[in-house]
Structure 1
């Protein structure tokens, strides 16, 4: 008889039951970004870095910034090292993916309304794939994508990368293809987008949910 290991749920650690009337400028968010060995994260590619930072009251809390390299238990392709600057040597003694994801969860600390990213669907796939390898399932936590806010503000925008968006909206740009650098760039872009959304009538958590929170 075959026996199958029971999957366990991984808590999102987000705040629950936030009143829909809560003003946008009173919300807290956890912004994160990942770096991987490639795009096929459901199969062979693995997480090699994770960076995150919190936003509170429309302010990026730089003191909360978190970054770690991650041991992928596989070779890092040369082109990925050239793109990200992350070498095999830097990851040999690094934490496991699960340890880094637990740190991300703890950063949310029961206060954040949702997780935020730039094209966050990919980052969520990365996290879920790593959790699956540990026999864990992450029930879809609430997420917000900067691309959804940009689509609301400027629906005719072409798809561009994070740096170009940050330049167009006049926000800070940190080191590209660095998990923390991209998380910080995303966080400052996100706060600018939230302020523009407020000017256009998106005043509450309920309003924000209607734009595109998953």
Structure 2
């Protein structure tokens, strides 16, 4: 027991500076009102759906503050690959030796953490993206993400339940939400494109909740 405590403390001390800087962004307990909260909508394109054996090919992210998407401050990362599955190229379109500039996983982690900081992360089917990023962090000797998450699929179901009590689905694809909320699907199945679509879907859902006086912080986070 003592050995485990010592080992954990030693590992914390040995974390790289960029990880400690990321952790420091969570030290303030101040919570702004919803209009001032920074959200980051993000998406990952991967070699497959197994978080242990598959890898992230690209990450797209865009910041949302004051219910406004900061398109000019978006993030787009392409990662060098050891694992490659040609059968998935028809979905994400990313080739192992394509012309896009790619960086290492650790470089991608640094950029991603510096971008998100302590923002509330928004993703469609957020559990998958969260799991893939966490595996990438752990694989590189770090810990799991500390950010809070909002899943647009779950949030949409809540907003729909306010209006319609029947015909609810357990599963909504990003295409479903885009169609029902009249959001353009340009650049669909690219990480940056899906991140922007997710951001627009998120704001449309917020507008629906706000209109019905259900836009509360705890409600968004599923509390």
* TM-score calculated relative to the size of structure 2: 0.80
Q: Which residue of 2 aligns with 1:55?
A: 64
Structure 1 position 124 matched with structure 2 position 130: yes
For residues 2-81 of structure 1, the aligned pairs below 5 Å read 7-8=11-12, 10=19, 11=22, 13=25, 16-19=28-31, 22-42=32-52, 44-74=53-83, 76-81=84-89
In structure 1, which of residues 128, 146, 157 is the aligned counterpart of residue 152 of structure 2?
146
Q: How many Å separate the matches in 2 of 1:92 and 1:7? A: 35
Contact (CA 8 Å) 1:162, 1:186: kept in 2 or not? yes
Distance 1:175 1:142, change over 3 A: same
**1:70-96 deviation digits (Å, cap 9, x = unpaired):** 01212x212211111100103896112
The higher-RCO structure (CA 8 Å, 6+ apart) is 1
User: SS of 1:105's equivalent?
Assistant: helix
| Larger proportion of helix | 2
Note if 1:137 corresponds to 2:143.
yes
Change (3 A) 1:104 1:195: same
In structure 2, C-alpha distance between the alignment counterparts of 1:210 and 1:149, rounded to whole Å: 9
- Choose which of 140, 157, 166 in structure 1 pairs with 2:168: 157
The answer to whether 1:105 aligns with 2:117 is no
Partner of 2:3: none
Once the two structures are superposed, residues 116-135 of structure 1 have per-residue CA deviations (whole angstroms, 9 ceiling, x without a partner) of 11111111101110111111
- By how many angstroms is 1:139 displaced? 4.7
Tell me the distance in 1 between the aligned counterparts of 2:43 and 2:27. 20
Distance 2:100 2:196 in 1: 25
- 1:18 CA drift (Å): 3.6
In the TM superposition, residue 180 of structure 1 has moved relative to its aligned partner by: 0.3
Q: Does 1:189 align with 2:201?
A: yes
Please tell me whether the aligned partners of residues 48 and 91 of structure 1 are also in contact (alpha carbons under 8 angstroms). Answer: no
Verify the 8 A CA contact 2:69 2:199 in the aligned structure 1: yes
Alpha-carbon separation, structure 1, partners of 2:111 and 2:44? 13
Does structure 2 retain, via aligned residues, the 8 Å contact 1:69–1:91? Answer: no
Change (3 A) 1:180 1:34: same
Gaps of 5+ in 2: 1-6, 162-166
User: 176, 196, 210: which is aligned to 2:188?
Assistant: 176
